[in-house]
Amino acid sequence: MSAIDMKTPILIVDDYKTMLRIIRNLLKQLGFDNVDEATDGSTALQKLREKAYGLVISDWNMEPMTGLELLKEVRADTQLKELPFIMITAESKSENVVAAKQAGVSNYIVKPFNADTLKTKLTAVVGDF
């Protein structure tokens, strides 16, 4: 597992603008400035196919394409299938965790969370930074 470069582009996906801002600020606190946003899964997928990202952090609950559907699309795409993918959800229900794991999620964060939690989850996925 290679450590992530702080300049690596990260895509954050959430249909809630406030959450995008929170995640962007937490990433900035951790030293990541190269952050793009998408407000739904289909826009995210389009961006992922146009630019090389080092990581996706996506909310679960979105319309019309959920985070889980986005994850499945990413894992089914030969160009993207190795991409680290962290899912954020307000639900800690075990069936959600299982569904995400089966779909190939790299890690899972339950809201609310802080920079420390994000750093721990990121380190588990991409190595030390």
Which pLDDT tens digit goes with each residue over 112-123? 999 999 999 999
Instruction: Tokens for 97, please give them.
Output: 């965790």
pLDDT at 2 (0 to 100): 55
pLDDT at 93 (0 to 100): 82
pLDDT at 36 (0 to 100): 98
Give dist(CA 75, CA 111) in Å, integer: 24
Task: Return the bridge partners of 107, or none.
Answer: 86
Give dist(CA 71, CA 79) in Å, integer: 13
pLDDT at 5 (0 to 100): 84
**Would you give the end-to-end CA distance of the chain in angstroms?**
12
Domains and CATH numbers, the chain: 10-123 (3.40.50.2300)
Which pLDDT tens digit goes with each residue over 22-47? 999 999 999 999 999 999 999 999 99
Bond prior to 84 in cis (omega within 30° of 0): no
Which pLDDT tens digit goes with each residue over 75-108? 999 999 999 999 998 877 888 889 999 999 999 9
